[in-house]
Amino acid sequence: MMIRTLLLAGVALAACTLCAAAAEPLKLDFSKDTVGGDANSFVNVVGIWRVEAEGDNKVFAVDGRQWKEGQTAAGIADKARTLYGERYAEFLDRVQAFAYFPYTVAKDVADFRNGEISLRFKGISGRIDQGAGILFNLKPNGDYLAIRANCLENNLVLWKFEKGRRSSVEWVRNTPTSSRQWHDLKVRIAGNKVEGYLDGKLYLQHTLPEPVSGKIGLWSKADSYMHFDEFAATASE
């Protein structure tokens, strides 16, 4: 009886340890990356992304100043294989359709379903847009969701990209987002429920038709020149 009790206690302890490990946030910074190069923790899919220096800190930048419609990242076919293996061709078809919207994918998150994703961003320049977003629910066919703030428009929007078309899911206005200042952006996901936070304030709430499941990353738009830092993802049960 004592042996059985000890075994059960050991199983319970192991389960608790696994739960605790699952709750550990994935934190990605760029301190060990090379300025001017790619971030080791991301796969660039659309647009020009590189590590830049900001004072003593290193940040991840999307540079839309040289943006051209239909511009995918260099070596996109190989990167698509890295993300989705044999299904890369299907993924590439949708990438071409969304090449107006730069994005990069976190390498170490295979399937994010519940929890929080957060980052810091700063708008440097952009006449058409200064958009910074969190990409999530990225599917092997290239469909995804993105929640984004915009320093020119002062709004927070949940976008859906599906079957080659973009549409707004939820739109919130009057969200102060100054250029050339750091801001905090966070999305909280619980099954099919999505909450969007800007600078610690809850602005957006929406219930999707299906639960979230897929890869995650950073998102932007058109000629936006943005800095990103302190990307973090914390999964929950």
Nearest in space to 151 (alpha carbons), one of 118, 127, 172: 127
Identify the pLDDT of residue 33.
98
Identify the pLDDT of residue 223.
85
Identify the pLDDT of residue 21.
39
Query: Residue 194 maps to which CATH number?
Result: 2.60.120.560
Chain position carrying tokens 């002062």: 154
Which residues of the chain fall below pLDDT 50?
Answer: 1-22, 70, 97-98
Identify the pLDDT of residue 93.
53
Domain that holds residue 151: 26-235
Q: Other CB atoms closer than 10 Å to residue 145's CB: what's the count?
A: 26
Identify the pLDDT of residue 99.
56
Nearest in space to 91 (alpha carbons), one of 79, 78, 80: 80
Identify the pLDDT of residue 147.
98
Considering the domain boundaries, does residue 17 fall inside one?
no
Considering the domain boundaries, does residue 168 fall inside one?
yes
Considering the domain boundaries, does residue 8 fall inside one?
no
Total structural domains in the chain? 1
Identify the pLDDT of residue 58.
98
Identify the pLDDT of residue 87.
62
Handedness of CA 88, 92, 93, 95 (dihedral sign): positive
Identify the pLDDT of residue 82.
75
Chain position carrying tokens 């206005």: 173
Considering the domain boundaries, does residue 16 fall inside one?
no
Considering the domain boundaries, does residue 129 fall inside one?
yes
Considering the domain boundaries, does residue 18 fall inside one?
no
3-state secondary structure the chain: CHHHHHHHHHHHHHHHHHHHHHHCCEEECCCCCCCCCCCCCEEEEECCEEEEEECCEEEEEEEHHHCCCCCECCCHHHHHHHHHHHHHHHHHHHHHHCCCCCEEEECCCCCECEEEEEEEEEEEECCCCCEEEEEEEECCCCCEEEEEEECCCCEEEEEEEECCEEEEEEEEECCCCCCCCEEEEEEEEECCEEEEEECCEEEEEEECCCCCCEEEEEECCCCCEEEEEEEEEEECC
Considering the domain boundaries, does residue 175 fall inside one?
yes
Identify the pLDDT of residue 3.
43
Considering the domain boundaries, does residue 10 fall inside one?
no
